[in-house]
Amino acid sequence: MEALTRSLFLYLSKNALLNHLAKKHGRRWAAGKMIGGTDFQSSIPCIRHLNHAGLSVTVDHLGEFVDTKEIAEERTKECIQTIRMIHREQLDSHVSLKLTSLGLDIHRDLVEANMARILEAAEEHQVMVTIDMEDVPRCQATLDLFKQFKRSHRYVSTVLQAYLYRTASDLDDLNTLKPFIRLVKGAYKESRKHAFPNKQDVDDNYKKLIVKSLQNGNYTAVASHDDQMIEFTKTFTKEHRIPTEQFEFQMLYGMRTRTQLDLVKQGYKVRVYVPYGLEWYGYFMRRLAERPANIAFVFKNFLKK
């Protein structure tokens, strides 16, 4: 049943008509519930509210698979402006981005140049930029670019997905760079050739990755709503005397708000992923596909508004 639910939401995430209708008619419905706002400026009150509650933030301008240089340039400028505004407004926030939004599918030189401009602003204003992970065909290119930029920049991190067979090897490969890694289960539909088909295998691999990353001494973000993963991380770090300064929990805006606040009260760092922009529908469907329990969290959130 879980596999069917996942496939359904992934299918819906790519439906052009539903995406168009959501962008045209649903943005007010989503703002303040699943996204911070329709642009970064309108998201600032949401970020401030989270910061005042003791929660850190990472923001993401939704939209990927850009197919023109002009749009990639616009996304680059938007990201640079966001970094500057985070600094100016003194917000506790990182920035997440997808390389396809900067032209990864167009030309290597284009995405490299755009990313270099963004990281120049990140270094100047000391704002962390996380290169998000996408599907398998783009995985190696993403990691190659991350490694290239990590050698010369401090404020850059990336994401690894527990459902891929290759991820443990990737984590080993990145270790010499002492990276800031966000560990997630993974939200794309991948074949058995590349990804564990069973949830239990994904969960087991996720735990192994958490252990490996923390034992390597790297700063680790455990990005999960799963109580099992949260409790595993808390227990492991206590037993091995790993300081809370070496890791954080990350969760999505609009989901498990009470758990986020409880973790903060317990002395843990929690970062909330706050997307913004008009392209919210595909993101929303992928989050529901990623974990069916998210459906309950979403509807509870809507009922509170």
Q: Which residues are catalytic?
A: 132, 182
Residues 193 and 14: beta-carbon distance below 8 Å: no
Provide the H-helix boundaries in 151-266. 167-174, 199-215, 227-239, 257-265
Name the token pair of 176.
């010499």
Name the token pair of 106.
């167009």
Q: For residue 14, which of 281, 194, 288, 292 has the smallest C-alpha distance? A: 281
Q: How far apart are CA 201 and CA 91, in angstroms?
A: 38
Q: How far apart are CA 164 and CA 133, in angstroms?
A: 12
3-state DSSP assignment of residue 207 = helix
Q: For residue 204, which of 188, 219, 175, 226 has the smallest C-alpha distance? A: 226
Q: How far apart are CA 301 and CA 273, in angstroms?
A: 16
Name the token pair of 16.
């052009």
CA dihedral of residues 129, 27, 282, 142 (deg, nearest 10): -10
Q: How far apart are CA 79 and CA 280, in angstroms?
A: 17
**Contacts of 277 by beta carbon, 8 Å cutoff, 6+ apart:** 35, 38, 39, 61, 62, 63
